[in-house]
């Protein structure tokens, strides 16, 4: 299930992120000196920001929860929107280390695509993935993203400017794919 974060999620989100520190570190921007991104204050700010960003059409953050009685947070996916002539969203996601390889990221991305090209009315989605992140490349491949090329020193990840492969999916490609599948 994908849903926006709520203020009451802060504790569970913190627990989930703490369990995944090592899993996420190689793929995440380093925290600013002295900052603790996992403090309750920072996480509460993050949830408030995420909820405000929804109302401002800036970023759509979705928690991925499992269909289990306590609805554990098993991942997160976010669409960062650029409107005007671009009508694009940058996609980012992670899935809990203990839930890898069950198709959760692929399923979550599929639902986020439906949100993007349906209610949000976007025209394009873009994902930037490090060449060594093979699992993430499989996820976008499953959803029909097309590889556009290599962007050199594109994002600063874990303290280093890293090359990224750019992948994209346009509305036209998604509709063609859907009519083939459906
Ligand atoms: C990338 C990530 C989101 C994948 O989540 P997931 O729920 O395990 O993804 P899925 O189960 O939907 O698909 C994973 C695919 O990668 C494959 N895979 C996993 N590890 C792999 C590896 N080391 N080498 C090659 N393929 C790998 C799986 O076999 C699967 O492909 P398949 O369906 O063709 O067999 C997860 O590993 C993660 O959170 N990584 C850390 C954060 C991250 O990298 N985020 C993305 C940044 S661009």
> Mean of the per-residue pLDDT values for the chain?
97
Q: How far apart are CA 100 and CA 114, in angstroms?
A: 23
- Contact 74 CB / ligand 1 (< 6 Å): no
pLDDT value of position 138:
98
Residue 182, pLDDT > 80, answer: no
- Atom number in ligand 1 closest to CA 104: 7
Ligand 1 touching residue 94 (CB < 6 A):
yes
Q: How many angstroms is it from 61 CA to the middle of ligand 1?
A: 20
CA distance 87 to 121: 8
pLDDT at 140: 98
Q: What is the per-residue pLDDT for 41?
A: 96
- Asked if 37 and 31 count as a contact pair (C-beta separation under 8 A), the reply is yes
pLDDT average, residue stretch 137-145: 98
DSSP-derived pairing of the beta strands 59-65 and 146-157 = unpaired
Ligand 1: atom nearest CA of 95 is 39
How many whole angstroms from 56 Cα to the centroid of ligand 1? 31
pTM of the entire predicted model: 0.97
| Partners of residue 146 on adjacent β-strands | 168
């Amino acid at each position: 299930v994908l849903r926006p974060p709520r203020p009451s999620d802060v504790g569970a989100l913190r627990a989930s992120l703490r369990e995944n520190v090592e899993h996420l570190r190689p793929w995440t921007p380093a925290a600013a000196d002295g900052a603790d991104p996992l403090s309750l204050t920072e996480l509460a700010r993050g949830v408030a920001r995420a909820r405000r960003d929804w109302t401002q059409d800036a970023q759509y953050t979705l928690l991925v929860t499992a269909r289990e009685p306590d609805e554990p947070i098993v991942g997160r996916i976010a669409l960062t929107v650029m409107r005007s002539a671009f009508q694009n969203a940058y996609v980012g996601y992670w899935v809990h280390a203990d839930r890898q390889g069950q198709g959760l990221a692929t399923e979550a991305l599929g639902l986020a695509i439906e949100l993007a090209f349906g209610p949000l009315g976007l025209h394009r989605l873009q994902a930037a993935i490090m060449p060594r992140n093979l699992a993430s490349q499989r996820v976008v491949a499953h959803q029909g993203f097309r590889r556009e090329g290599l962007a050199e020193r594109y994002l600063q990840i874990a303290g280093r400017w890293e090359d990224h492969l750019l992948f994209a999916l346009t509305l036209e490609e998604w509709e063609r794919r859907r009519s083939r599948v459906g």
